[in-house]
């Protein structure tokens, strides 16, 4: 039985005519596959670039927010310092006014 199956039959030789057609189809499919892979690669590269750009923009936003927080903290610290100096100036002004009045009243008493 194995011997009978191992001997080619002449009608099987007709299948050899299909080989060039199969080869052409596989070549075309390979070209389409390669084109599709290249297109996918370009698409993924574009997505990667967009993600990189978005991450850069997100980092820039974070830096900007941090700088705004710092500047607002510095501004509030400067305002507090200015208010303190104004308060000191106010008290110094009061003292100097009282000391002037005391000096003038002392001189008038003499």
The predicted structure's pLDDT at residue 82: 61
Domain ranges in the chain are: 21-109
What pLDDT score does 33 carry? Answer: 92
| Cβ-based neighbours of 24, under 8 Å, separated by 6 or more | none
- What does the alpha-carbon distance between residue 106 and residue 104 come to, in Å, rounded to a whole number? 5
- Encode pLDDT of 7-27 as tens digits: 767 777 788 888 888 888 888
Of 47, 28, 24, 46, the residue nearest 36 (C-alpha): 28
pLDDT of residue 37: 93
Per-residue pLDDT of the chain (110 residues; tens, 9 = 90+): 566 667 767 777 788 888 888 888 888 889 999 999 999 999 988 888 888 888 888 888 888 888 888 887 766 766 666 666 555 566 677 677 777 666 555 555 44
> What local confidence, expressed as pLDDT, does residue 20 receive?
86
């Amino acid at each position: 039985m194995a011997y009978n199956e191992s001997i080619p039959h002449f009608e099987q030789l007709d299948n050899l005519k299909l080989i060039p057609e199969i080869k052409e189809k596989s070549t075309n499919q390979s070209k389409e596959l390669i084109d599709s892979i290249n297109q996918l690669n370009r698409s993924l590269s574009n997505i990667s670039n967009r993600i990189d750009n978005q991450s850069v923009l997100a980092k820039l936003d974070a830096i900007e927010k941090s700088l705004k927080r710092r500047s607002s903290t510095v501004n509030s610290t400067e305002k507090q310092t200015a208010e303190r100096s104004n308060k000191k100036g106010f008290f110094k002004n009061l003292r100097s006014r009282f000391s002037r009045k005391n000096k003038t009243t002392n001189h008038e008493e003499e």
